[in-house]
Structure 1
Amino acid sequence: MNYLKKVVIVLLCLSFKVNTHAQQHPNIMLTKANIDAVRKGTETYPLLKESYSDIKQQADIALTQAISVPLPADGGGGVTHEQHKKNYNNILNCAVAYQISGDVKYANYVKDMLLNYASQYKKWPLHPKAKQNHQGGKIFWQALNDCVWQVYVIQGYDMVYDAISSKDRSTIENQLFVPILKFLTEDCYTTFNKIHNHGTWNVAAVGMTGYVLNKPNYVEMALKGSKKDGKSGYLAQINQLFSPDGYYMEGPYYQRYALLPFVLFAKAINNYQPNLKIFDYRDKLLVKAINTSLQLTYTDGTFFPINDAIKDKTYETIELVYGLDLAYADIKAEPFLLDIAQRQKKVIVSDAGLAVAKAISEGKSQPFNYVSQWIKDGGKGDEGGLGIIRSGSNEDQQCLLMKAASQGMGHGHFDRLNILYYDNNTEIFFDYGASRFINIESKRGGHYLPENDSWAKQTVAHNTVVVDQKSQYQAKVSEAEKHSPNLIYFGKNNQMQIVSAEETNAYDGVNLLRTSALVKLPHTKKELLLDVFFVNSNEEHQYDLPFWYKGHLIDASFKPKVFTAELKPLGQEYGYQHIWLNAENKLDTRSGYISILNNKRFYTTHFTSESPLTVKMLSIGANDPEMSLIADKSFMLSQPKAKTQTFVTVTETHGNIDPINETVDAAFSKLSDLKLLNSNKNGAEVSFKYAGKSYTYKINYTDQKRFTELVENGN
Structure 2
Amino acid sequence: MELNKKAIISACLSVLLLGFVFSCKAQNETSSKNTQSSNSGGHPKLIITKAGVEKIRAELGNIPIFDATLKMAQEEVDAEIALGIDTPIPKDFSGGYTHVRHKRNFFMLEKAGLLYQILDDEKYAKYVKDMFFQYAAMYKDLPVHPQTRSYARGKLFWQCLNDSNWLVYASQGYDCIYEYLSPEERETLETDLFKPFADYISIENPQFYNRVHNHSTWGNAAVGMIALVMDDAELLHRALYGIENDGLDKNAKDNDGGFIKDPEGRAGFLANLEEPFSPDGYYTEGPYYQRYAMYPFLIFSEALNNVKPELKIFEHKDGVLLKAVDALLNLSDADGDFFPLNDGQKGMSYYSKELVTAVDIAYLHGGKNAGLLSIAEKQNRVLLDDSGLAIALGIKNGEAKPFEKKSVNLSDGPDGKQGGVAVLRNDDLEVVFKYAAQGLSHGHYDKLSFSMYENGQEVIQDYGLARFVNIEQKGGGNYLKENKTWAKQTIAHNTITQNGKSHFQGKYEIGSKHHSVLDFYDFSNDQIKVVSAHEANAYPGTILHRTMAVISDKDFEKPYVLDIMRVTSDKANQYDFPYYFLGQVMETNFKYQTPEVLKPLGAKHGYQHLFVEAQGQANQENVKLSWLNAGRFHTLTTVTDNQDEVFLTRIGAADPEFNLRKEPALMLRKSQTKDAVFASVIESHGSYSPVSENAVNSHSNITKIEVIHNDANYTAVSIMDLQGHSKVFIVSNKTASKEANHKLKIHDDTFQWTGSYYFK
Same fold per TM (> 0.5)? yes
Percent identity between matched residues is 38
Aligned: 1:51 with 2:51:
no
d(CA) in 1 for partners of 2:712 and 2:632?
Answer: 36
Mapping of residues 226-237 of structure 1, within 5 Å:
226-227=243-244, 231-237=266-272
State the shift of 1:361 in Å.
0.6
The answer to whether residue 145 in structure 2 is matched with residue 127 in structure 1 is: yes
> Who is 1:430 aligned against?
461
Structure 1 counterpart of 2:431:
400
Letter in 1 for 2:618: L
After TM superposition, give the deviation of residue 82 of structure 1 in Å.
Answer: 0.8
Alignment partner for residue 527 of structure 2, among 495, 518, 525?
Answer: 495
Post-superposition offset of 1:414? 0.3
State yes or no: 1:40 paired with 2:71: no
Does 2:294 correspond to 1:259?
yes
Q: Does 1:504 align with 2:536?
A: yes
Of residues 667, 671, 678, the one that matches 2:702 is 671
Q: Is the 8 A contact 1:602 1:656 kept in 2?
A: yes
Q: Secondary structure at the match of 2:332?
A: coil
Q: Is the 8 A contact 2:610 2:649 kept in 1?
A: yes
8 Å Cα contact 1:430/1:549 also seen in 2: yes
Matched, 1:198 2:233: no
C-alpha deviation, 1:599, in angstroms: 1.3
For 2:273, which of 232, 238, 241 is the aligned residue? 238
Map of 1:708 onto structure 2: 757
* C-alpha displacement of 1:603: 0.8
1:661 aligned onto 2:661? no
1:182 Cα shift? 1.5
Whether the 8 Å contact between 1:590 and 1:612 is mirrored in structure 2 is no
> Secondary structure of 2:136's match?
helix
Cα distance between partner residues in 2 of 1:381 and 1:607:
34
Which structure 2 residues correspond to residues 105-504 of structure 1 after superposition, within 5 A? 105-132=123-150, 134-227=151-244, 231-392=266-427, 397-492=428-523, 493=525, 495-504=527-536
Partner AA of 1:135 in structure 2: A
- CA shift for structure 1 position 4: 6.9
Quote the offset at 1:443 in angstroms.
1.4
C-alpha distance in 1 between matches for 2:189 and 2:455? 54
- 2:561 is matched with 529
Look up the equivalent residue of 2:357 and give its one-letter code.
Y
Which residues of structure 1 form unaligned runs of 5+?
A: none
Partner Cα separation in structure 2 for residue 442 and residue 606 of structure 1: 41
SS at match of 1:689: strand
Secondary structure of the corresponding residue to residue 543 of structure 1: strand
> What's the offset of the Cα at 1:174?
0.8
Alignment map for 1:552-591 (pairs within 5 Å): 552-563=584-595, 565-591=596-622
Q: Would you say the 8 A contact 2:590–2:619 is kept in 1?
A: no
Moved more, 685-694 or 323-332: 685-694
Report the Cα offset of residue 330 of structure 1: 2.2
Range with greater deviation from structure 2 (274-283 or 347-356):
274-283
Residue 93 (1) aligns with residue 111 (2): yes
Q: Are 2:144 and 2:155, in contact at CA under 8 Å, matched by a contact in 1?
A: yes
Corresponding residue for 1:10? Answer: 9
Which runs of 5 or more structure 2 residues have no equivalent in the other structure? Answer: 25-37, 246-263, 739-754
In the alignment, what sits opposite 2:651? 620
Q: CA deviation at 1:231?
A: 2.6
Question: Mean Cα displacement is larger for which, 641-650 or 518-527?
Answer: 518-527
Do structure 1's residue 635 and structure 2's residue 666 form an aligned pair?
A: yes
Deviation at 1:696, TM superposition (A): 1.9
Q: Deviations over 1:165-189 (max 9, x none)?
A: 2222221111000111211221012
Aligned to 1:518: 550
Which residue in the other structure is 2:254 paired with?
A: none
Equivalence for 2:34? none
SS of match in other structure, 2:677: strand
Aligned to 2:583: 551
CA distance in 1, matches of 2:408, 2:192: 51
- CA–CA separation in structure 1 for the residues paired with 2:717 and 2:437: 31
Distance 1:574 1:627 in 2: 19
- Displacement of 1:612 after TM fit? 4.2
Aligned AA (2:144) = L
1: CA distance between counterparts of 2:10 and 2:483?
A: 41
Whole-angstrom CA distance in 2 between matches of 1:645 and 1:230: 42
Return the alpha-carbon distance in structure 2 between the equivalents of residues 575 and 125 of structure 1. Answer: 40
> How many residues were matched structurally?
703
Q: Give the CA deviation at 1:676.
A: 1.3
Determine helix, strand or coil for the equivalent of 2:169: helix
**1:644 & 1:193 partners in 2: Cα distance?**
45
Tell me the distance in 2 between the aligned counterparts of 1:12 and 1:67.
Answer: 45
In 2, the alpha carbon distance for the partners of 1:437 and 1:301 equals: 20
TM value normalised by structure 2? 0.90
| Matched-pair contact (CA < 8 Å) for 1:681–1:701 | yes
How far did 1:130 drift?
3.3
TM-score normalised per structure 1: 0.96
Cα distance in 2 for partners of 1:4, 1:617 equals 51
Distance (Å, rounded) in 2 between the aligned partners of 1:494 and 1:677: 26
| Aligned-residue CA RMSD (Å) | 1.7
1:588 shift after superposition: 2.2
Cα offsets for 1:260-304 (capped at 9, x unmatched): 110011011111111111111111111001111111111111001
Return the offset for 1:465. 0.6
C-alpha contact (below 8 Å) 1:4/1:380 kept by paired residues: no
How far apart in 1 are the matches of 2:221 and 2:118? 25
Instruction: Give the Cα–Cα distance (whole angstroms) in 2 for the partners of residues 496 and 701 of structure 1.
Output: 18
Paired with 1:67 and 1:540, the residues of 2 have a C-alpha distance of 67
In the aligned structure 2, how far is the partner of 1:518 from the partner of 1:335? 29
